[in-house]
Structure 1
């Protein structure tokens, strides 16, 4: 087999492996994010143990926190998975009492996007009644994944 054929085989295997990994992890809820805020004295960023002001962000976009939980979705304008996520989260809010869905345009709220450590859209944060982050998912979660994440609240 020629060198070019080996390179093609390796490229296909790597692409397939990445695709399988991405499909397995996309939309899965896991952990929370350590909020980064500028340091008070030296201007360097430092970890802040208090949750990011999610309630302030929710209020800034003209919404309110849910009585039980809030699904905070970071989206962008031309993101097809964001539209699918919006439909799933709207369906879940119709099924579960006391849950609100708030969508934030990541491009128009860059400071909050950075503070929450959002690296790609869609990213969905599950907030408790007080606005503290419980868990998060990057990518488009399924309805069952969202319902399971809400069970943690």
Structure 2
């Protein structure tokens, strides 16, 4: 009987973790450290005037490819916005500096390089566009 309760507890915990991730994945969160900055020269890019999406990806991450397509669509619709993809496997210095724990992680950076919003997990178009609009205000 004890084994059954343990199994039920594990299943309940797994369901709870899954529900929390489903709710939080792809949501815009205000960057915790307002002092975090992206150095455009270090990345070899120019920051766009209305914001730059900095995406951390890995080669085996399927949601990363979908997120990259979504961000490309958004930047095509708005030429004042840029998208740069960083291979997290080869830029561990940036992964550590920005506290990337999973991919995809997307940072929305303003024209001065300050990280304003952070998205973890598969991104949602509405969340990305809304954060971009708030950034431009």
TM-score for both structures, normalised by structure 1: 0.81
**1:119 partnered with 2:104:** no
> What residue in structure 2 maps to residue 99 of structure 1?
81
**Residue 72 of structure 1 contacts residue 126 of structure 1 at CA under 8 Å; is this kept in 2?**
yes
Q: How many residues align?
A: 135
Q: State the distance in 2 between where 1:51 and 1:18 align.
A: 29
Structure 1 distance, partners of 2:95, 2:52, is 17
Secondary structure of the structure 2 residue equivalent to 1:151 = helix
Q: Which consecutive unaligned segments of at least 5 residues does structure 1 have? A: 35-48
Any stretches of 5+ residues in structure 2 without a counterpart?
none
Shift of 1:29: 1.1
Structure 1 runs, 4 residues or longer, greater than 6 Å off: none
State how 1:28-39 maps to structure 2 within 5 Å: 28-34=27-33
Provide the TM-score with structure 2 as the length reference.
Answer: 0.90
Q: Distance in 2 between matches of 1:54 and 1:149?
A: 21
Find the structure with the greater CA-based Rg. 1
Q: Which has the higher contact order (CA 8 A, sep 6+)?
A: 2
SS of 2:22's partner is: helix
